[in-house]
């Protein structure tokens, strides 16, 4: 019973996944260069597919290309963080408004479930895992039913993860985030688009501020 498709994904596609993981986890540290021949040998593929993978990640903002020099993992400046969060805010506020208008009851249950699980984890003494934060925003995006906005948010969140890779969270911030999420769900439950957008704006503003302080500490 071999898989129906002999190659589930092209070598370039596989290389994208592997490289993305290595960049996001910080295995390839920010500021470092990606050597084409070295990484190609390491992955056991030729330079062609690897180059395509590098270009793809560059288009996602996870690498920056310098002609005749190669690809670098970008390191964030405070200005970058601010500008990136302006983009994220524009996208996710719109998503929150659309979610408030278009959500189904199933969407609402899913959102409430994610919030409840976050609370449970937190009360059990465990930290609010970033995984659940991502899950919340993803669920909200599904409820918004705006595929292009969702796609762009996904890309922006990836870049945020990249900036965030070496930061630790502090409990007060986690608590505030969970409160924001709860309030957001209430606004969406009420179908109050304006409030949903406003709460999302305040939430992201807080997250951005926290990242900026962590960045400079």
Min CB(216)–a copy of itself separation in Å: 20
Which distant-in-sequence residues (6+ apart) come within 8 Å of 24 by Cβ? 62, 158, 161, 162, 165
Residue 46 partner contact from a copy of itself, DNA, none using kind-dependent CB cut-offs of 5 to 8 Å: DNA
Q: Which is nearer to a copy of itself, 115 or 162 (CB)?
A: 162
Of the residues 18, 30, 52, 165, which one makes contact with a copy of itself according to CB under 8 A = 52
Under the binding rule (CB under 8 A), the answer on residue 138 touching a copy of itself is: no
Bridge partner list, 134: none
Under the binding rule (CB under 7 A), the answer on residue 36 touching DNA is: yes
Count the residues of the shown chain that bind a copy of itself, applying the rule CB under 8 A.
25
Q: Which is nearer to DNA, 12 or 87 (CB)?
A: 12
* Edge-to-edge order in the sheet of strand 33-34: 33-34, 70-72, 64-66
Of the residues 19, 39, 84, 114, which one makes contact with a copy of itself according to CB under 8 A = 84
Draw the binding track, 54-83, toward a copy of itself (x: CB under 8 A; -: no contact): -xx--xx------x---------------x
Of the residues 26, 37, 42, 175, which one makes contact with DNA according to CB under 7 A = 37
Phi/psi of residue 30, each to 5°? Answer: -55, 140
Under the binding rule (CB under 8 A), the answer on residue 90 touching a copy of itself is: yes
Under the binding rule (CB under 7 A), the answer on residue 33 touching DNA is: yes
Stretch of residues binding DNA (CB under 7 A), selected from 16-24, 30-38, 137-145, 155-163: 30-38
Residue 161 partner contact from DNA, a copy of itself, none using kind-dependent CB cut-offs of 5 to 8 Å: none
Q: Which is nearer to DNA, 16 or 163 (CB)?
A: 16
Q: How far apart, in whole angstroms, are the C-alpha atoms of residue 107 and residue 198?
A: 20
Q: How far apart, in whole angstroms, are the C-alpha atoms of residue 59 and residue 206?
A: 28
Of the residues 56, 70, 94, 186, which one makes contact with DNA according to CB under 7 A = 70
Secondary structure string (H, E, C) spanning 153-210? HHHHHHHHHHHHCCCCCCHHHHHHHHHHHHHHHHHHHCCCHHHHHHHHHHHHHHHHHH
- Rounded to a whole number of angstroms, the CA Rg of the chain reads 19
Q: Which is nearer to a copy of itself, 170 or 205 (CB)?
A: 205
Q: How far apart, in whole angstroms, are the C-alpha atoms of residue 6 and residue 145?
A: 34
Q: Structure tokens of 207?
A: 């997250």
């Amino acid at each position: 019973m071999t898989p129906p498709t002999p190659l589930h994904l092209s070598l370039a596609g596989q290389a994208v996944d592997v490289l993305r993981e290595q960049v996001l986890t910080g295995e390839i540290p920010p500021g470092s260069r990606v050597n084409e021949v070295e990484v190609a040998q390491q992955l056991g593929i030729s330079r062609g597919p690897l180059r395509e993978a590098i270009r793809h990640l560059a288009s996602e903002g996870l690498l920056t290309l310098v002609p005749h020099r190669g690809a670098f993992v970008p390191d964030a400046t405070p200005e970058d963080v601010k500008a990136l969060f302006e983009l994220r805010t524009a996208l996710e506020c719109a998503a929150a408004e659309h979610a408030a208008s278009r959500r189904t009851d199933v969407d609402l249950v899913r959102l409430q479930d994610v919030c409840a699980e976050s609370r449970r984890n937190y009360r059990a003494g465990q930290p609010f895992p970033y995984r659940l934060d991502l899950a919340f925003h993803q669920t909200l995006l599904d409820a918004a039913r705006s595929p292009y906005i969702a796609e762009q948010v996904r890309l922006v969140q990836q870049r945020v993860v990249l900036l965030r890779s070496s930061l630790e969270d502090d409990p007060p911030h986690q608590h505030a985030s969970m409160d924001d999420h709860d309030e957001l769900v209430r606004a969406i439950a009420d179908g109050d688009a304006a409030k949903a957008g406003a709460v999302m704006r305040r939430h992201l503003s807080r997250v951005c501020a926290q990242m900026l302080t962590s960045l400079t500490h």
